[in-house]
Amino acid sequence: PLLETDTQLQEYQDFKRGLLFSSLVLVYSSYGNDPFRLCMITYHPNEKPGPDGNLYILTSGLSGDKAMVQQFKPYKLKGDQDMFRAAARIRRNGGFYESRVIFTDRRQCILLRTPGYHNLCELFTGGRYTNGILK
């Protein structure tokens, strides 16, 4: 097995490609008592400010049916090629934390690790039943 930081895995760790297919719904979180759980993420790549659009995030940390909107700015990790951007800073419980893509199949799932936020590991899935719910 390869370590998640192995450069051979770069093409399976591109954040932008992992978000393009639909809305992503949280299936598993390693932090069971997370007061600011990201329940669903929807990516709008063409929204301003560019060039990478916005993330609409439905979270347990907001009251009612409101979604949090944040600018998406993925970046490459040290040692990775410029075309693969495997990390982004995502707002969680009052702060921004680096989240890294461990794996994405670019179709139905993405695994995220957020070491600075309780060493969090999350599995999100998407598909036809989640497409466009958060508009």
Residues counted in the chain: 135
Superfamily per CATH, domain 7-126: Calycin beta-barrel core domain (2.40.128.20)
- Of the pLDDT bands very low, low, confident and very high (cuts 50, 70, 90), residue 97 is very high
Tell me what pLDDT residue 106 has. 75
User: Mean pLDDT over residues 42-56, rounded?
Assistant: 86
CA distance 123 to 71: 21
Q: Where are the domains of the chain?
A: 7-126
Check pLDDT > 90 for residue 19.
no
Q: Specify the pLDDT at position 135.
A: 35
Lookup result for tokens 């979604």: 67
Cα dihedral sign, 5-7-10-12: negative
